[in-house]
Amino acid sequence: MSREAQVRFWESAALRCAALLDYIFPTVRKAGGPAAVYVDTLVEQHNRGRQIIDYVMGITAKNAILPVEAPHLAEMLDHFELMYANHAAREDTIVFPAWKAALGPHAVDEMGDKFEEIEKQQFGGDGFDQAVKQIGEIEQNLGV
């Protein structure tokens, strides 16, 4: 994956995190209930994920990883994957349904429009279509 593609990918991830931190988590926290107890942990995981991403981007910026760096990089990627799997599962099955219930269908549609507008301002065009194209390019480069 090119350095430019890496940067675009992580910028889009940062935008999604910002939407969670700015809009979704505060609504869930304010609504209370069982989902609210997960918000602080998820915020901590977002922060830790950002640290790991910054580390990976820094170590891969030179396009060559020293043999002495490889084990720590692999460990960081393993930690990120484990944390992300648990994190995404909680968001998808607990937090997002609670957020939608707290807002109601009309407000959820309005927020979807708001997120799309933010995405267009940030990336120009349809971020979903760009992500699908980017994933296709990554798969092609990897031969998958």
pLDDT digits (tens, 9 = 90+) for 80-132: 999 999 999 999 999 999 999 999 989 999 998 888 887 777 766 666 677 67
pLDDT value of residue 127: 62
Inter-helix orientation angle 70-90/39-60, to 10°: 150
Domains held by the chain: number: 1
Question: What is the tens place of the pLDDT at every residue in 29-70?
Answer: 999 999 999 999 999 998 998 899 889 888 888 878 899 999
pLDDT value of residue 1: 56
Confidence of residue 22 (pLDDT cuts 50, 70, 90): confident
Q: Is 143 a domain residue?
A: no
Question: What is the tens place of the pLDDT at every residue in 2-12?
Answer: 667 667 777 76
Q: Is 142 a domain residue?
A: no
On the question of pLDDT at 14 being above 60, the answer is: yes
Q: Is 21 a domain residue?
A: yes
Q: Is 91 a domain residue?
A: yes
Query: In which domain, by residue range, is 125 found?
Result: 3-136
Q: Is 84 a domain residue?
A: yes
> What is the Cα–Cα distance from 101 to 105, expressed in whole angstroms?
8
